[in-house]
Amino acid sequence: MIVTWACNKTVEDPTPNPYLGLNNGNTNPLPDTTSPQSLRSLHKNIFVVKCANPTCHDGSFEPDFRTPESTYLTLVYHPVVKNDTAGSFMFRVVPKNVPKSWLHYRLITDDNDIGRMPLYNEPLNNEELGNIIGWINKGCPDASGVVRNYPNMNPYIGYYVAYNQNGQRIDQSRTDGWASPFIINAGSNVELRVLMSDDSTLTSGLQVKQIKVSQDRENFSAAQTFDLSFYYSTFCRLFFTSSSFTNNQKWYFRFYAKDATNPTIVEYPKNSSYSWIKEHHSFIIQ
């Protein structure tokens, strides 16, 4: 009996339970005080949930709506890729300038060729659209509430393509793969197009739009210089005949651009570029 009593005796724990009396469930959650016109709210309530095709904006294509930070970097002062026929827009979002923000135009346009966003889904309602307009009018503060200054970068020179007089691509036919000259048929006419964009100046208004052609890959001091004409949106072009250059010799070319505010003339490729990039920017007439 003594043993049984000892085993059943309740021994009090002298250490108090610090969690005793706490409610495991939050029956009175704090209200969401995030402004509906903040980037975090727009990201959570519009950019993520309103896109009808999530695979378009998950990093596969821009804008990238995976996080508030990626949303900001691919919208604010980010050059447009697609544009209207007049080339009216330079950036996807321009702080404090709704009419010049491509994002806003894409959300309200009736142009079926351009496409209203979100594609294949209901348009944003007035409140949602108003929140985006409010964010733009406030200067587009980032996820931390910081308003970004105008970047005013140097012009960007991108890829080029070449066509013959029949409108056929000829820059894909090369002597020895990508890092070699593309082939121009003797006696043919050529159109060379290049992407040039800038954050402060429309491509059509760039002060310098040139191409130089040299037989020396590393030295363009005595190169032939040609002015490029504005073609469309962010593209410039040059028309020339193959008879302008000696047959069966390799010709190297570089592009040059300058905006209206920066003193630097951008060169691409440049002396410090990889040799295979310089080789890609060459042609031979056969």
- 163 within some domain: yes
Range of the domain at 82: 39-137
Chain segment 113-150, per-residue pLDDT in tens: 888 888 778 899 999 999 999 999 999 999 989 998 87
Choose one of 137, 168, 193: the last residue of a domain: 137
Tell whether 81 and 129 lie within a shared domain: yes
- Farthest CA pair distance, the chain: 119
Q: What is the pTM of this model?
A: 0.55
Tell whether 164 and 119 lie within a shared domain: no
Phi, psi of 117 (to 5 degrees): -95, 145
Chain segment 5-31, per-residue pLDDT in tens: 445 555 555 666 655 555 555 555 545
Q: Which residues fall within 8 angstroms of residue 272, CB to CB, at 6 or more apart?
A: none
- 253 within some domain: yes
Tell whether 118 and 160 lie within a shared domain: no
CB 140 within 8 A of CB 40: no
Tell whether 121 and 202 lie within a shared domain: no
Tell whether 167 and 227 lie within a shared domain: yes
- 200 within some domain: yes
How distant is the alpha carbon of residue 67 from its chain centre?
Answer: 16
Tell whether 131 and 161 lie within a shared domain: no
- 24 within some domain: no
Q: Mean pLDDT over residues 33-53, rounded?
A: 83
Tell whether 131 and 160 lie within a shared domain: no
Tell whether 163 and 279 lie within a shared domain: yes
3-state secondary structure of 212: strand
Tell whether 215 and 132 lie within a shared domain: no
3-state secondary structure of 261: coil
Phi, psi of 118 (to 5 degrees): -75, 140
Phi, psi of 95 (to 5 degrees): -55, 135
Q: Which residues fall within 8 angstroms of residue 40, CB to CB, at 6 or more apart?
A: 34, 68, 143
Share of the chain above pLDDT 90, in %: 61
